[in-house]
Amino acid sequence: MAGHSKWANIQHRKGRQDAARSKLFSKLAKEITVAAKMGDPDPDKNPRLRLAVKEAKSQSVPKDVIERAIKKAIGGDAENYDEIRYEGYGPAGVAVIVEAMTDNKNRTASNVRSIFGKNGGNLGETGSVGFMFDRKGEVTYPASAGDADTVMMAAIEAGAEDVESSEDGHIIYCADTDLNDVSNALEAELGESESTKLVWKPTTTTELDLDGMQKLMKLVDALEDDDDVQRVTTNFEASDEVMAQL
């Protein structure tokens, strides 16, 4: 299994145990507000907003929080956020992409640089690691959605590019511009997805041992704890033995 898939599984398990769900809800609500402010406030007419709402629902964000985030954009009292991508290297040379939404670029840049420095990483220039990733649409389904062949056929019919199936479930990839159409087609065949979002999919990975994984998780946790950071992507690879020890 590829590293980014394993990381998703770690985050999924961690999320179930994490008491600080409000921070995640806040970030998902911010994405909804920004999407609604940039386009039509109707999810059916705004693909980005539809995906943001869908992802929020998959993370159990309450309906009233979602509606309040959209109304905030319609009311015109929403903050103006800039979307910024930071790139750098973590422990053992792992590539790291940090996506942020901020109303103060200087504050966010300073915080992100400090977090990298304190956790064995180095913040680089834009493009310094981006070439190691492809921008893709990602739709995930639980194992109960069907066996690998069933999901593969549904993905092909929907216009997807690739499927990774394991005992943990199915991860379906498509071109970033096709995500809305592919996810709709998949839902018609397989039902509601667990998650639908745009991701950075690694094209090359860096192998980590247990010590490297622990250091990387410390860096990612620190980055994700920053209020301006929306999501963090890495290109680590780790053996099943290392993952089991975590």
Q: What is the pLDDT of residue 20?
A: 62
CA-to-CA distance for 113 and 123, rounded, in angstroms? 6
CA-to-CA distance for 25 and 42, rounded, in angstroms? 20
β-sheet bridge partners, residue 101: 83
CA-to-CA distance for 196 and 50, rounded, in angstroms? 10
Cα-based distances in Å from 233 to 96, 126, 130, 135: 6, 15, 11, 11
β-sheet bridge partners, residue 87: 97
Q: What is the pLDDT of residue 126?
A: 87
Q: Which residue has the tokens 């247990």?
A: 210
96 sits in which H/E element: strand 95-102
Q: What are phi and psi of 83, to 5 degrees?
A: -95, 125
Q: What is the pLDDT of residue 3?
A: 47
β-sheet bridge partners, residue 233: 97
Q: What is the pLDDT of residue 38?
A: 85
Q: What is the pLDDT of residue 246?
A: 73
Q: Where are the domains of the chain?
A: 82-124+204-245
Environment class of 189 (CB within 10 Å of its CB; exposed 0-12, middle 13-18, buried 19+): middle
- Length of the chain, please? 246
CATH number of 82-124+204-245: 3.30.70.980
**What pTM, to 2 d.p., does this model score?**
0.86
Please report, in tens digits, the pLDDT of each residue of the chain (246 residues total): 344 555 555 554 555 455 567 888 989 999 999 999 888 888 888 888 998 998 898 888 999 999 999 998 888 766 788 899 999 999 999 999 999 999 999 999 999 999 999 999 999 998 999 999 999 999 999 999 999 999 999 999 999 999 999 988 999 999 999 998 999 999 999 998 988 899 999 999 999 989 989 999 999 999 999 999 999 999 998 888 888 887
